[in-house]
Amino acid sequence: MASVISTIAIIVAIIGLIYLAYCGVSIILVAPLLAVVASVGCGQPLIDILGKVYFVKAAEYIGKFFPVFLFGAVFAKLMEEGGLASSIASKISKVLGAKRAVLAVIIGCGILTYGGLSVFVVAFVMYPFGAVLFRKAGAPKRLLPAALWVGIFTFAMVALPGTPQTQNIIPTEFFGTSTWSGIGLGIFASACFIATGLLWIGYRIKKLNAAGEGYGVHANEGNLELDESSLPDWRISLIPLLIVIFFNIFLSNPFNWKFASSWQIPSLWAVSIATVLASIATLIIGRKNIFVKKSEGDRPKFIKIINGSAVSSGTAVFNVASGFAFGCVVTSVVGFVVIQDLLMKLSSNGNPLWSAVLTTNITGGITGSASSGITIALSKFGQMWKDMAVARGISLDAFHRIITLAGAGIDPAPQCGALVTMFGICGLSHKESYFDLLMIMLLKFAVPYLCVILYLVTGIV
C-alpha cells in the first residue's frame, strides 16, 4: 500500500509540474514546491529532501555547467546584436528560396546552433526569416514552431559530432569521451531527424493548403522584412562560428593527435574557451552595431549586451538546474525504486544500450529538458552502464552518442521551458501548434533505437 501511495505522489508531482509550467508559472518556484509533494507523499523527511537532495543537486549542476551557459549566452547575444547571426540566416534564406521554406529554416537553425549560439537566441534570430519564408510560400504559420524545433533542438543539438551544446558535453564528464564521439551514428541520426521534419511538415503543408488554409492573418505581427543594410557580410559573419568549431576540436583533441597529448582539457572547458575566443572575433566583426551609444550620457550598447546576456544566462541555468533537481528528487524517493529496479533488470538481462535509451527517455520526459534528463540518467546509472559497456566490449563513444540522442527523444513535453518560449516567440499557442510538435516527437522518438540497432548490426560508431 505504501508503495502505491508513493507512486501516486510522484505522478501527482509530475502532473503538477507539467500543468503549472503550461500555465506559465516559473519552474524555479514550482519545482521545489512539487519536489516537496513527491517527498512528503513518499513519507520522506521534507527538510532532508530539500536541503540534502534538491538544493544540493541544483548547486552541483550550476557549478559544473554555468561556464557553458555564461559564455554561450554572451557569445550568442553578441552575434545577434552585431548582426552576424541575421546575416547568415538571411543568406541561407536567399539561397534556398521561399519554395524550400521548411528546408531553409531547418538548415539556418542548424548552422547557428552547431556554431555555438544559444538555442533560445537561434529561435529569436530565425523566427523573422522563417515567418517571411512561410508567408511567401503560403505555408500555415502554425507549422513554423515545428520547423524551428527540428532545426534547433534535434540534429544540431545532440546528433552532429562536435556540437558545442550542453547536451553533447554532459556525457563527456561521465564517460571520459569527447564531443566528437559517435561520428557515424551522429551523421545517421542527423539524416533521420532532418528527413522526419521535412516529410511531416511537408505533408502537413500540402494537406492544410488543400483544405484552403494558408499563412493566415495574425494579430500583433508587424513588418517582418528585416533591414539588411547594416549587417556585416555573411562570409565574414561565419568566422566566429568556425572559431568555435576549430578550437573545440583543437583543445579537446578527440582524435588523439600526438602533438596535443601533453594537454588534458575537458570538453566542457574546451567549448568554453572556444566560445570566449569566438566572442572576441564577434566584437571585432560586429563593432559598428555593438559599440554604439543611443544618446549622450547613455550606457554604451556593449555594456547593456554583456550585462543582459550574463543575467539571462543565470536565469537559463537556474531553470534547467531546477528541472534537474526536481528529477533528482523524484528518482531518489521510495516510490521510484520499483521503476529503478525494472530499469536495472533490463540492463542486466540485456544490452545496456537499450536500458540507457529508455531510462534517458523517462528522465527527459519527467524534467521536460534534454540536458536534465541526460544528467539524471547518467548520475543514476552512468557508472553501471560504463562498467557493463567495458565488460561487454561496447564502445563508450557509441554510448555517448546514443544517450544524447535519447535525451532529445521526448523533450518537447508540454512543461518544456524551451517549448513555451518557442510558442511565445512565434505568437502562437499550444492549442494551435502543439499537435505537429507532438507528431514530430513521436516520430523522432524512434531515432536512438534505430541507432542502437545500427551499432549492434554493423558496429558503426
Q: What pLDDT was estimated at residue 270?
A: 82
The answer to whether 357 touches 402, Cβ cutoff 8 Å, is yes
Measured distance CA(182)–CA(77) in Å, rounded = 30
Examine the pLDDT at 406 and tell me if it is beyond 60.
Answer: yes
Examine the pLDDT at 84 and tell me if it is beyond 60.
Answer: yes
- Classified as helix, coil or strand, 291 is coil
Query: Which pLDDT tens digit goes with each residue over 220-248?
Result: 655 455 567 778 999 998 898 888 888 87
The answer to whether 104 touches 97, Cβ cutoff 8 Å, is yes
Query: Which pLDDT tens digit goes with each residue over 329-388?
Result: 887 777 677 777 776 776 656 678 988 998 898 888 877 778 888 988 898 888 989 998
Higher pLDDT, 350 or 28: 28
| Extents of the domains making up the chain | 2-215+233-458
Q: Give which of 376, 414, 365, 339 is closest to 54, Cα–Cα.
A: 376
Q: What is the mean pLDDT of residues 302-318?
A: 84
Question: Cell numbers at residue 310, please?
Answer: 550574463
Q: What pLDDT was estimated at residue 188?
A: 97
Lowest mean pLDDT among 26-35, 54-63, 163-172, 414-423: 414-423
Examine the pLDDT at 412 and tell me if it is beyond 80.
Answer: no
Lowest mean pLDDT among 89-103, 269-283, 431-445: 89-103
DSSP 238: T
Q: What pLDDT was estimated at residue 147?
A: 95
Identity at 390, one-letter amino acid code: V
Measured distance CA(306)–CA(266) in Å, rounded = 26
Query: Model's pTM, two decimal places?
Result: 0.76
